[in-house]
Copies of this chain bind each other. A is one copy, B any other.
């Protein structure tokens, strides 16, 4: 088996509805078309398979993020590009995973809270603002933006495809993915941000 990539972890962070999953949907085929091995650990996958029963307290969120980090670590040291697409609101936990994994590419999906509230595809913000959901990141629970992420995706200004390409180019720059010149061709290039994430991770 050969792979044109080195393993690493792409660690998304951003508010619910920021666009983490939508960018991931664009990113995965781009990486696969370059022959990379890719695994996605998004909020749903993780809450089902690793963290059932955990809530959204600081302590439970920390455990959840540590588990995702552990699995990303195992994958990326074996040549896989692991994508963690959870809110991961706390800086210290992201930094802990960065220290563990080393091959760590932090992607800040930057968007204003107002835009997330406006998008609110799943109606979670409405419920959170009405007090029906406790510990909701950005509303009743803190979100700590990263100081020095490797990539910033501004989903109010970019298309999902542009965001995904930004990440690919950073991976090339960092030596995780071989450079390619035919970036004009992409599957699903007409996608819009759809915010179909269930994630309150």
Which A residues contact B (CB, under 8 angstroms)?
1-3, 6, 37, 39, 49-50, 52-53, 63, 66-67, 70-71, 74-75, 78-80
Nearest Cβ on chain B to A67's Cβ, whole angstroms: 6
Contact partner, A39, options B2, B63, B67, B78, Cβ 8 Å: B78
Q: Could you tell me the distance between the alpha carbons of A173 and B110 in the complex, rounded to whole angstroms? A: 52
CB pair A74 B39 closer than 8 Å: yes
Q: How far is the CB of A77 from chain B (nearest CB, A)?
A: 8
Q: Which residue of B lies closest to A46 (CB)?
A: B70
CA distance A37 to B53 in the complex (A): 32
Partner of A75, one of B3, B66, B70, B75: B75
Chain B contacts of A1 at CB under 8 A? 1-3, 6, 79
Additional A-B contacts beyond A37-B79, A49-B70, A50-B67 (11; CB < 8 A): A1-B2, A1-B79, A2-B2, A39-B74, A39-B78, A49-B66, A49-B67, A52-B63, A71-B71, A75-B75, A78-B80
**Pair B37/A78 contact, Cβ less than 8 Å:** yes
Which residues of B have CB within 8 Å of A2?
1-2
A20–B67 Cα gap in the complex (Å)? 24
Partner of A74, one of B52, B63, B67, B75: B75
CA distance A80 to B75 in the complex (A): 9
Query: Smallest distance from the beta carbon of A78 to chain B beta carbons, Å?
Result: 5
The residues of B that contact A50 with a CB separation of less than 8 Å are 50, 67, 70
Q: How far is the CB of A55 from chain B (nearest CB, A)?
A: 12
A145 → chain B, closest Cβ, in Å?
A: 27
Output the nearest chain B residue to A2 by Cβ-Cβ distance: B2
28 contacts between A and B (CB under 8 A): A1-B1, A1-B2, A1-B3, A1-B6, A1-B79, A2-B2, A37-B78, A37-B79, A39-B74, A39-B78, A49-B66, A49-B67, A49-B70, A50-B50, A50-B67, A50-B70, A52-B63, A53-B63, A71-B71, A71-B74, A74-B74, A74-B75, A75-B75, A75-B78, A78-B78, A78-B79, A78-B80, A79-B79
